[in-house]
Amino acid sequence: MHEECGVFALYGNGQIENPAEYAYLALYAMQHRGQQSCGIAVSNDGVIDCEKGMGLVSEVFSEDKLAKLSGQNITAHVLYSAKGASNIQSAQPIVMRYGKGRLCVATNGSLVNAKELRDLLAQNGAMFRSNSDAELIAQIVAKERMFCHSIEEAVKMTCENIKGAYSMVIMSPTKIVAARDPYGFRPLVLGKMPEGCYVVVSETCALNAIGAEFVRDIMPGEIVVIDESGARTYYQKENCERKICIFEYIYFARPDSVMDGVSIHGSRVNAGRLLARQHPVEADIVIGVPDSGLDAATGYARESGIPFGMGFVRNNYVGRTFIKPTQEQRSTSVGIKLNVLAENIKGKRVVMVDDSIVRGTTCADIIRLLKNAGAKEVHVRISSPTIHHPCFYGTDIPTREELTSNHHSVDELCEIIGADSLGFLDRDSLGELIGACSKTYCDACFTGDYPVE
């Protein structure tokens, strides 16, 4: 279980003024995908310079730092790292000097054969500064490039050896190459600037932030090359089976993004509608836990006829509790993250909609806040099924032992968190969130059905 990240790349072709500022804006728009470190790398006359640091985008990059990053081709990254990997060595992009020059890698996802590949490279003399998949991929691309005619050919050879989830951008001094794994676990989007230059981002919300036009999703198993002649498909693997992470729609992505043609906001509203049908209850108000619970709460209210209201004021400067690296940090941040609007809650039967229950501690803390504010009843509705399995494709879902649904029934969990009733989204209705007629998504964290062994 490694990262949940956001990637960005821009090929300026001499047409963009201050391109590093566009990278900053794009990363800022994708800050929700990673809040522990960030970085921007620029290519200028064959030299790749990189600035990265620990913390939020606004904390790491000042105007002075951005002004020093001169170069038309850019790769950038925001990172949430797994427990024990929160350090500057794991921050991306990874810049490498090798026999044929320099290259830069930024990736989102997690490789399932990383240890095998790392051990093989180490046996042949490779040295690693971190345990990140991005550095491993950079090592493989550099190795393959020594025997290939182009960087895109080296990326293709690399993709034939790595297994798991990866949506990545690779920058050489003259090109940018984007690649998505054959299952499309993680999103990757191609956009176009008004000046005619191309960008690659993890989410469409980043395109909006920099005024870029959406071109299309990069397809599962596709390798796209961007250079002075434009953007083109270099390789498309045949018979790819789309398995985008369903948690992108439930939790990770920003609601104003569109992934593989599906509105994130719309999918969450659908989840709320389904919850209202599957778990109806008599109540006075429906509230959502900010932010991803709000859209589902709207859907629940519309379907049930119970009025929607604001239950919380959120402090937007506190990071997500689900992806805090330690339990102590998660518990501490809940109290300063949310304040209850007592005037909307006091004396009322409340339906509280949230996106997931992982360990259960955060949900219990929030219910306690509501009842302390005078809520008569708190009925919890979760816009995802019960989670039973870890993720090996880039989402930091804990081990089976830490997942509370593996130790308690729904009724037991309801009592533990202090709710008056508890309902989860039916696992069989996940496809209805995104209008999928077939299972074009990965739900391994709910089912244990892993697309890649």
The catalytic site residues sit at 5
Position of tokens 């000097």? 97
- CA 118 to each of CA 141, 179, 284, 414: distance values in angstroms, whole numbers, following the listed order: 13, 20, 56, 44
Which residues are bridge partners to 217 per DSSP? 189
- CA torsion angle 10 15 18 21 (round to 10): -30
Beta-carbon count within 10 A of 322 CB: 19
Please report how many Cα atoms fall inside a 13 Å half-sphere around the Cα of residue 61, on the Cβ side: 27
- CA 326 to each of CA 103, 278, 331, 332, 396: distance values in angstroms, whole numbers, following the listed order: 34, 34, 9, 10, 12
DSSP per-residue string spanning 403-426: -GGGT--HHHHHHHHT-SEEEE--
State both tokens at 212.
């870029």
State both tokens at 347.
């004396």
Kind of pairing, strands 349-354 and 377-382?
parallel
- CA 106 to each of CA 50, 262, 357: distance values in angstroms, whole numbers, following the listed order: 12, 25, 30
Q: Residues for the chain: how many in total?
A: 453
Q: Would you say 189 and 121 are in contact if contact means Cβ atoms under 8 Å apart?
A: no
Q: Rounded CA gap, 320 and 299, in Å?
A: 23
State both tokens at 208.
């909006």
Cis peptide bond prior to 291, omega within 30° of 0: yes
Please report how many Cα atoms fall inside a 13 Å half-sphere around the Cα of residue 92, on the Cβ side: 39
What is the crossing angle of helices 151-159 and 133-145, to 10°?
Answer: 120
Q: Would you say 434 and 262 are in contact if contact means Cβ atoms under 8 Å apart?
A: yes
Name, in order, each residue with C-beta under 8 angstroms of 61's C-beta and a sequence gap of 6 or more: 24, 38, 40, 51
Position of tokens 């005024």? 211
